[in-house]
């Protein structure tokens, strides 16, 4: 782990101090959670692109699967 220096608005720092027992831990967790959110959104974007590129093939496969499952 590295120690870094950041500039932060007084109002934001006061809000952090109001809700957090440990500034560093709070900021580490906030950054970690924000990065996870960004990575999750990027992954969802990649998945949407793949689904869009393969929409017709996936539709045909889904129809075939439903037909196969409907057989007595």
Q: Does the CA dihedral 54-55-59-62 come out positive or negative?
A: positive
pTM: 0.70
pLDDT tens digits, residue range 3-51? 999 999 999 999 999 999 999 999 999 999 999 999 999 999 999 999 9
Across residues 59-66, what is the average pLDDT?
93
Domain positions in the chain: 10-70
Tell me the three-class secondary structure of 9-71, residue by residue.
CHHHHHHHHHHCCCHHHHHHHHHHHHHHHHHHHHHHHHHHHHHHHCHHHHHHHHHHHHHHHHC
Cβ atoms of 31 and 38 within 8 Å: the answer is no
pLDDT band at 72 (very low <50, low <70, confident <90, very high): confident
């Amino acid at each position: 782990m590295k120690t870094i220096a950041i500039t932060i608005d007084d109002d934001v720092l006061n809000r952090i101090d109001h809700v957090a027992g440990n500034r560093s831990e709070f900021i580490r967790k906030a950054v970690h959670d924000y990065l996870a959110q960004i990575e999750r959104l990027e992954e969802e974007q990649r998945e949407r692109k793949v689904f869009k590129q393969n929409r017709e093939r996936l539709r045909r496969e889904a129809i075939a699967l439903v037909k196969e499952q409907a057989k007595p």
